[in-house]
Amino acid sequence: MSSPPGRRARLSSPGTGRSSSEAREELRRRLLGLIESNRVMIFSKSYCPHSARVKELFSSLGVECNILELDRVDDGANVQEVLSEITNQKTVPNIFVNKVHMGGCDQTFQAHQSGLLQKLLQEDAAYDYDLIVIGGGSGGLACAQEAAILGKKVMVLDFVVPSPQGMSWGLGGTCVNVGCVPKKLMHQAALLGQALSDARKFGWEYSQQVRHNWETMTEAIQNHIGSLNWGCRLSLREKAVAYVNSYGEFVEHHKIKATNRKGQETYYTAAKFVLATGERPRYLGIQGDKEYCITSDDLFSLPYCPGKTLVVGASYVGLECAGFLAGIGLDVTVMVRSVLLRGFDQEMAEKVGSYMKQHGVKFLRKFVPVMVQQLEKGSPGKLKVVAKSTEGPETIEEVYNTVLLAIGRDSCTRKIGLEKIGVKINEKSGKIPVNDVEQTNVPYVYAVGDILEGKLELTPVAIQAGKLLARRLFAGHLEKCDYVNVPTTVFAPLEYGCCGLSEEKAIEVYKKENLEVYHTLFWPLEWTVAGRDNNTCYAKIICHKFDNYRVIGFHVLGPNAGEITQGFAAAMKCGLTKQLLDDTIGIHPTCGEVFTTLEITKSSGLDITQKGC
């Protein structure tokens, strides 16, 4: 947006398919959003001399304003009508200063002469910042930097409370420090081990005994993460975002207390706040869990090889960690309370588990730990785990070097003073309910990322939501984050990528008789010479028969599933159908091409095993 006399606001159409009352209410909400989010908001017409006078006034005062020219938007007449309902003023210019309705041209000049206009303009300066973001993870940083690019004064508060094992980290949040980044790199370490095994079949000869060095790997990964932490800080500095390594807590409306590691307290105020505090791993609440168990908060910087490991939980975090630990040669067991990959397609989840079992990961199904006891100290030490069946009185015991908990994550929302300003949270989950523009029940407080109720817990989602939120708040944009058809990948030893609905969810939403599922097993060419498992990789799409066979679910189990899924996700955003897939010429030889030749439906019952190229 440009300097005075003003920025040109945009107001997109509320879209077709709505009733007139719904469209009108949506327009009203958007206009109120513009009024709420701009210091000076002028509803004008480009040819109006009175509007021109007002623009010149604000320009002479050096005040930036946001301008919506009603003669240059498609719905200008309706906008003016709804404005009339809001303000009881039928003419332009229609002016708001810090959410206060000034009126038209004459009223604004009268306010200027009386000093009222200057007082209203100064009210914004009563706050230290235009925006304070609490949480320096993916979503918070994206929102803060975008707001700063738009000329706002922004602060980021970020503080990592050490894990029970004493681990903490730098700026960047879970993804950079203890999530996506180190996880993918350790997954790569395991894939390289498999590649070494395959290499002999491709003619590579080596006699040296190959073994994996945990310390070398973690040091290299932590060095890379350190460079990312520095990059995050540098990016904030370049955009003039204030970064404070302190714990933020609301003390009253528009005011927070920031406490640093030394316990020193500082207070800051802001016109708006964005909560982006993320989540931390959950503990079992049993004897010995916090004393002796580790979580993903600890694993990636563990200074010693974990040895024989029990992974408790079969979430994607649990299976990914179990997969790469087994891939580097460790003895790994996964203890599963109920199902694998809850919330994902269960046919795909069981195939992921089956592959892991075939490649050395042991599974204890229908058991939960009830006690963890330290037998020996050390790096690693020895821990005895007592577990109980979920289906009867049976108990089992086993000794491990490391116990890794991956049983879920809890939102960091209960100790930041939200109750003092009235922000509602889900008391059971700690999640924050928001509307479709990420706004909480307190108008000046917004939230993004994993703490949102009913939204996806994925880094790219948080980044997109954060950027778009800043643009709506400070640039008059209206685009909202689209939480539908978001692709994701589980980086298990055999990767599982998906986009859209699981088969179970599709049946629940659309009914089985309205769906057609196309599927096949496939054998990657790279696996053939290496003598790796035939008929293990699997692809399926779920189509809505009565919506032009639109693809509503995409699932692939195979090498590089994330890379494959990313491309098809874009196609699904564009309304991908089975016919469009059939019309697409595949790239040969690739795994992704299998989706261009799908012929067999589940309902046919035909054999899907592959016998040739």
Give me the active site residues, please.
588
Return d(Cα 585, Cα 565) in angstroms, integer: 17
Q: Which of 64, 68, 97, 72 is nearest to 83 (CA)?
A: 68
- Angle between helix axes 180-199 and 214-238 (nearest 10 degrees) is 140
Return d(Cα 446, Cα 443) in angstroms, integer: 8
Alpha helices (H) along 448-524: 459-475, 503-510
The torsion of the CA quartet 175, 181, 186, 189, rounded to 10 degrees, works out to 170
DSSP string, 68-100: EEGGGSTTHHHHHHHHHHHHS--SS-EEEETTE
Asked if residue 5 has a cis previous peptide bond (ω within 30° of 0), the answer is yes
* 3-class SS of residue 384: strand
Three-point CA angle 159, 152, 57, nearest 5° = 160
Asked if residue 93 has a cis previous peptide bond (ω within 30° of 0), the answer is yes
Beta strands in 346-495 (DSSP E): 362-365, 367-376, 382-389, 395-400, 402-405, 409-411, 445-447, 488-490
Structure tokens at 302: 């563990």
Q: Are strands 265-275 and 255-259 parallel, antiparallel or unpaired?
A: antiparallel
> Cβ atoms within 10 A of the Cβ of 211, count?
8
DSSP string, 222-234: HHHHHHHHHHHHH
Residue with the two structure tokens 């897939």: 581
Q: Under a CB-based contact definition with an 8 Å cutoff, are residues 401 and 379 in contact?
A: no
Structure tokens at 308: 């024989």
Q: Under a CB-based contact definition with an 8 Å cutoff, are residues 591 and 558 in contact?
A: yes
Radius of gyration of the chain (CA): 28
* 3-class SS of residue 372: strand
